[in-house]
Amino acid sequence: MTVLAADPVKEKASAQKTWVFLFDELDKVEATAKPKDWEDVRSLLGGKGANLFEMTRLGLPVPPGFTVTTEACNGYLAANHEFPTGMWDQEVVAMHEVERKVGKTFGDPKNPLFVSCRSGAKFSMPGMMDTVLNIGLNDETAKGMIELTGDPRFVYDSYRRLIQMFGSVVMGVADEPFEEAIAEQKKKRGVRHDVELTAEDWQALVEKFKTLVKAYKSQEFPQDPYKQLEMATRAVFNSWFGKRAIDYRNATNISHDLGTAVNIVTMVFGNMGNDSATGVAFTRNPADGTKELYGDYLINAQGEDVVAGIRNTLPIMQLKQDMPDAFNQFLEIVTKLENHFQDMQDVEFTIERKKLWMLQTRNGKRTARAAIKMAVDMNNEGLITKKQAIGRVTPEQVDQLLHPQFSAEIKKSASKEGRRLVSKAVNASPGAAVGMAVFDADTAAEWGKAGKAVIMVRPETKPDDVHGMIAAKGILTSRGGATSHAAVVARQFGTPAVCGAEELAIDVDHRIFQVHIDDKLVEVREGEWISLDGGTGEVFLGQLPTQDPDFDNEVELNTLLKWADEVRKLGVWANADYPKDAVRARRYGAEGIGLCRTEHMFFEEERLPIVQEMIMATSKARRLSALERLLPVQRGDFEGIFRAMDGNPVIIRLLDPPLHEFLPSFHDLVADLADLKVRLQHFHTLSEIDTALGQVRAKEDVLSRVKALSESNPMLGLRGDRLSVVMPEITEMQVRAILEAAVRVKREGIDVHPEIMVPLAGHVNELKYIKEIVDRVAAEVFAESGTTVDFKYGSMVEVPRAALTADELAEVAEFYSFGTNDLTQTTFGMSRDDAESKFLLEYTEKGLLPSNPFQQLDRGGVGKLIKMTVELGRATRPEMHMGICGEHGGDPNSIEFCHLAGLNYVSCSPYRVPIARLAAAQAAIKHS
């Protein structure tokens, strides 16, 4: 070691890269890797590793061990599966350090050290990459261990686990032959549970397992501990590109180039007798957020047993009686951890002969409901700030909470209507799910892709099932508890799940499950409907109807959204065409209506004939008569919306038609005509023929009008404000309906702020032409009623020309609203329907587009036009109010863009208003 400053260049050249760090070397990590922040540490050591280091630094009882970095993994994968130079030597040196610390030697039969090999990527991917326990066991060390412990049953059980895990995870032998061998042994001995097998049984199984490995892989199970270590390290690296891991990353948007770290941890044994145990726990209830210790443990068991759902676990609070000292220490530790990480922790622990060991801690996964409750509670407890609380909940989680639920009445009446409650089991992940039963992941994925609602029914789930679980509306298992694989994955994806429904006899091979209802055995086959309530753990046969959640009574959600309202810069408005939508929009927190479309109003049954008459009218007089009858109807609609919005602005868009949509289709008309003409041949009397001919003529009129209206490019045809140019009387009627409604509602003492919006304009002259109509009608209405209302006149921005000349348009338009769906179509020059059905998927799959631009706003192109409009528009009219309407208004990523572009508000469907409130706040915090 040089004490004086060494030549830095020379030192760099000779210093070898550090690939391996011991758990107590966090200082060294910081000194050599120079991480900028904790995220960087997690990138290097993986999430599991980083937290093992941190727990060690906090002085908690973590078994000694070391971590091989994600950099080493990436180096290995890049170099054709060769360990980076120096890595293996460092791993061996680290192993000797661990030996020194624990006073045992890896592979030494007299005093053997055993380790686990655990993967750990930056983001936890539960069950994605398997852990191998008990590495270092072989024929020799097993004997030595028996001498030391006097417990051959424990030793052979551990040894067979090693061969089993190593065989399947590292060497690629399927797990089934091992499980079958155990089942066979149990049958032979006439016992039902693993715990009833003796030392001799496990010893026999060890031998059997070795032959299984040999038979399946024509390779011996490696006896050399270092060979075991090396192969396990490789297997973890390789698993980064295993199918399961790739699927999971695709489903959760985790980048594929992060790599995984390898954690080597001294084994501690929860299966050393009745003073040993192993378990998992959450510092708060991950299903509903209650502040209570939540989890399971097993006495005399090892690692995976708890999550695998093979044995029925004990609730964590029971540990207080079983092992009070260990429990108290545990409680103290997890409280410290929650305070330290300022978030709910998900921990794994093992008690070896009364001594507690911490094996993992991480921020726990939680349901939407729990996330919201915890965020609000933790702020109230002073643990986190309001801004942190806002960041703890994702917009998708808010969406989940607002999903349909079963009502209590419906469930009560369920038994009467042949939809029977058949089980009440573990409420593993809340929400209502209705779907057809399927019994394997592939079918679930296939049916799900075909658009069917399915519920995946399994005895238990495994990591291989994840693709099916993602596709399912709900998950139902007959084994396992709240921390089983099925439960953890379901909560992660927000999928409702009921676990451990023991009443169900699931027969996966025959694709059925059986259940007793009042002594009668009922059978449910694949494809039959079932309903789950993941919040209560109830399982019903048949399809239960769902209902909307009770937003007003979501106290925590409303608190969190109020905090969001305090920080967000964007207004949140809603698109609503009917008074009932407007009411919902207000309830969900909308501050205005950003888009009220008038087309839908025209489609309603009693109005459609009048609308058709108006379109068919060959003379202006006739058209006016039809319009006169439409006027009161439209006025009524607007009155309802103005009342519901009670003083908040309402933007009403003038009719934006494809007129032909209001008429029968060309094909139907041709078919009808052919039919009529055939019938004509069978008529005899003159009057019969006369009426029939009259009918033919009427149909022919409609047909010729449909033909006249048909366009070769409807997307670029007579749409938007072009109608106002061709048939100004329609616009006159609409403006009159809007303003008369406004006058009437104003007289009721309600504040009204109508804003009249022109669709699709691209030239300032269009706006001027329509403004003349608007001003003329307004003057008439105000004169007639002797009242005036304050209204605005503005334009949509839906075609590039509007964006390009936004300074000119702003001379007439008082506000802009971006119709981003059409703006995306016209900017890309692609029609959405054609694009999505024919080629867009190829574009995203081949990486030509990062995402579907109709779902997530295309910042580079469409976004540029928006920014340009903002700049040009406000150059003419400095305070010009602008927002977006259309689906993008409810998409968090697009909302972030709107915040950055300086828009005043986003307008989205009423259901997405709460999501947008949160997303807008998160954007404001992120870019403050």
Residues in contact with ligand ADP by the rule CB under 6 A: 63, 116, 118, 127, 131, 133, 265-268, 303-304, 348, 350, 359-360
Output the residue with the shortest Cβ distance to Mg ion: 360
Instruction: Tell me which of Mg ion, ligand ADP, none is bound by residue 446, counting a contact when its beta carbon lies within the kind-specific cut-off of 5 to 8 angstroms.
Output: none
Torsion (CA) 371, 558, 475, 252 in degrees, nearest 10 = -50
Residue 572 is inside which H or E element, if any? strand 571-575
Tell me the CA distances in angstroms from 317 to 121, 279, 296, 337, 351, one per residue in order. Answer: 31, 12, 8, 18, 15
- The reply to whether 360 sits near Mg ion by the rule CB under 5 A is yes
**Cβ 292 to ligand ADP shortest distance, Å:** 22
Name the packing angle between helices 686-709 and 608-616 (round to 10°). Answer: 80
What's the rounded Cα separation, in Å, for the pair 590 and 910? 8
Q: Edge-to-edge, what's the strand order for the sheet holding 65-68?
A: 20-22, 65-68, 260-266, 115-121, 132-135
Q: Catalytic residue at 485?
A: yes
DSSP class per residue in 35-51: -SSHHHHHHHHHHHHHH
Instruction: Tell me which of ligand ADP, Mg ion, none is bound by residue 735, counting a contact when its beta carbon lies within the kind-specific cut-off of 5 to 8 angstroms.
Output: none
594 φ, ψ (degrees, to nearest 5): -85, -20
**Cβ 47 to Mg ion shortest distance, Å:** 10
CB nearer to ligand ADP: pick between 107 and 889: 107
Instruction: Tell me which of ligand ADP, Mg ion, none is bound by residue 284, counting a contact when its beta carbon lies within the kind-specific cut-off of 5 to 8 angstroms.
Output: none
Instruction: Tell me which of Mg ion, ligand ADP, none is bound by residue 116, counting a contact when its beta carbon lies within the kind-specific cut-off of 5 to 8 angstroms.
Output: ligand ADP
- The reply to whether 492 sits near Mg ion by the rule CB under 5 A is no
541 φ, ψ (degrees, to nearest 5): -85, 150
Q: Which stretch binds Mg ion (CB under 5 A): 190-198, 270-278, 345-353, 546-554?
A: 345-353
Q: Mask 115-144, x = binds Mg ion (CB under 5 A)?
A: ------------x--x--------------
Block residue for tokens 């199918």:
243
Instruction: Tell me which of ligand ADP, Mg ion, none is bound by residue 901, counting a contact when its beta carbon lies within the kind-specific cut-off of 5 to 8 angstroms.
Output: none
What's the rounded Cα separation, in Å, for the pair 666 and 706? 7
Instruction: Supply 219's token pair.
Output: 């390779």
What's the rounded Cα separation, in Å, for the pair 390 and 179? 46
**Cβ 815 to Mg ion shortest distance, Å:** 54
Contact between residue 681 and residue 631 where contact means Cβ atoms under 8 Å apart: no
Instruction: Tell me which of Mg ion, ligand ADP, none is bound by residue 118, counting a contact when its beta carbon lies within the kind-specific cut-off of 5 to 8 angstroms.
Output: ligand ADP
Q: Hey, how many other C-beta atoms are within 10 angstroms of the C-beta on 374?
A: 29
Tell me which of 485, 753, 881, 888 is the catalytic residue: 485
Contact between residue 241 and residue 77 where contact means Cβ atoms under 8 Å apart: yes
**Cβ 137 to ligand ADP shortest distance, Å:** 13
CB nearer to ligand ADP: pick between 350 and 824: 350
Q: Specify which residues 352 forms β-bridges with.
A: 355
Name the amino acid, one letter, at 244.
Answer: R
Contact between residue 383 and residue 389 where contact means Cβ atoms under 8 Å apart: no
Instruction: Tell me which of Mg ion, ligand ADP, none is bound by residue 133, counting a contact when its beta carbon lies within the kind-specific cut-off of 5 to 8 angstroms.
Output: ligand ADP
What's the rounded Cα separation, in Å, for the pair 456 and 439? 6
Tell me the CA distances in angstroms from 616 to 292, 313, 664, 706, one per residue in order. Answer: 69, 74, 12, 9
Q: Hey, how many other C-beta atoms are within 10 angstroms of the C-beta on 332?
A: 11
CB nearer to ligand ADP: pick between 50 and 789: 50
CB nearer to ligand ADP: pick between 131 and 484: 131
Instruction: Tell me which of ligand ADP, Mg ion, none is bound by residue 265, counting a contact when its beta carbon lies within the kind-specific cut-off of 5 to 8 angstroms.
Output: ligand ADP
CB nearer to ligand ADP: pick between 107 and 890: 107
CB nearer to Mg ion: pick between 469 and 541: 469
Q: Catalytic residue at 885?
A: yes
120 φ, ψ (degrees, to nearest 5): -170, 105
Instruction: Tell me which of Mg ion, ligand ADP, none is bound by residue 276, counting a contact when its beta carbon lies within the kind-specific cut-off of 5 to 8 angstroms.
Output: none
**Cβ 124 to ligand ADP shortest distance, Å:** 7
CB nearer to ligand ADP: pick between 169 and 803: 169
Output the residue with the shortest Cβ distance to ligand ADP: 303
**Cβ 429 to ligand ADP shortest distance, Å:** 18
Instruction: Tell me which of Mg ion, ligand ADP, none is bound by residue 46, counting a contact when its beta carbon lies within the kind-specific cut-off of 5 to 8 angstroms.
Output: none
Instruction: Tell me which of ligand ADP, Mg ion, none is bound by residue 445, counting a contact when its beta carbon lies within the kind-specific cut-off of 5 to 8 angstroms.
Output: none
Report the 3 state secondary structure along 269-327: CCCCCCCCEEEEEECCCCCCCCCCCEEEEEECCCCCHHHHCCCCCEEHHHHHHHCHHHH
CB nearer to Mg ion: pick between 114 and 551: 114
Contact between residue 196 and residue 147 where contact means Cβ atoms under 8 Å apart: no
**Cβ 193 to Mg ion shortest distance, Å:** 22
CB nearer to Mg ion: pick between 47 and 819: 47
The closest of 255, 528, 529, 492 to 370, measured between CA atoms, is 492
- The reply to whether 361 sits near Mg ion by the rule CB under 5 A is no
CB nearer to ligand ADP: pick between 303 and 649: 303
Residue 52 is inside which H or E element, if any? helix 38-57
**Cβ 361 to Mg ion shortest distance, Å:** 10
**Cβ 464 to ligand ADP shortest distance, Å:** 14
Residue 339, CB-side half-sphere exposure with 13 Å CA sphere: 9
CB nearer to ligand ADP: pick between 269 and 642: 269
Block residue for tokens 């957020």:
289
Query: Cβ neighbours of residue 277 under 8 Å, at least 6 residues apart?
Result: 270, 297, 298, 299, 300, 301, 319, 322, 323, 326, 350, 351
What's the rounded Cα separation, in Å, for the pair 77 and 72? 9
Tell me the CA distances in angstroms from 2 to 8, 13, 31, 337, 475, one per residue in order. Answer: 12, 15, 17, 39, 62
Instruction: Tell me which of Mg ion, ligand ADP, none is bound by residue 359, counting a contact when its beta carbon lies within the kind-specific cut-off of 5 to 8 angstroms.
Output: ligand ADP
Instruction: Tell me which of ligand ADP, Mg ion, none is bound by residue 63, counting a contact when its beta carbon lies within the kind-specific cut-off of 5 to 8 angstroms.
Output: ligand ADP
CB nearer to ligand ADP: pick between 107 and 594: 107
Q: Which stretch binds Mg ion (CB under 5 A): 288-296, 324-332, 354-362, 596-604?
A: 354-362
Instruction: Supply 848's token pair.
Output: 């030509």
Pairing label, strands 905-908, 520-525: unpaired
Name the amino acid, one letter, at 181.
Answer: A
Tell me which of 73, 117, 596, 885 is the catalytic residue: 885
Tell me the CA distances in angstroms from 320 to 293, 327, 331, 726, one per residue in order. Answer: 11, 5, 10, 81
User: With contacts defined by CB under 5 A, how many residues of the chain interact with Mg ion?
Assistant: 4
CB nearer to ligand ADP: pick between 248 and 563: 248
Q: What are the catalytic residues?
A: 485, 885
Q: Which residues contribute to the site for Mg ion (CB under 5 A)?
A: 127, 130, 348, 360
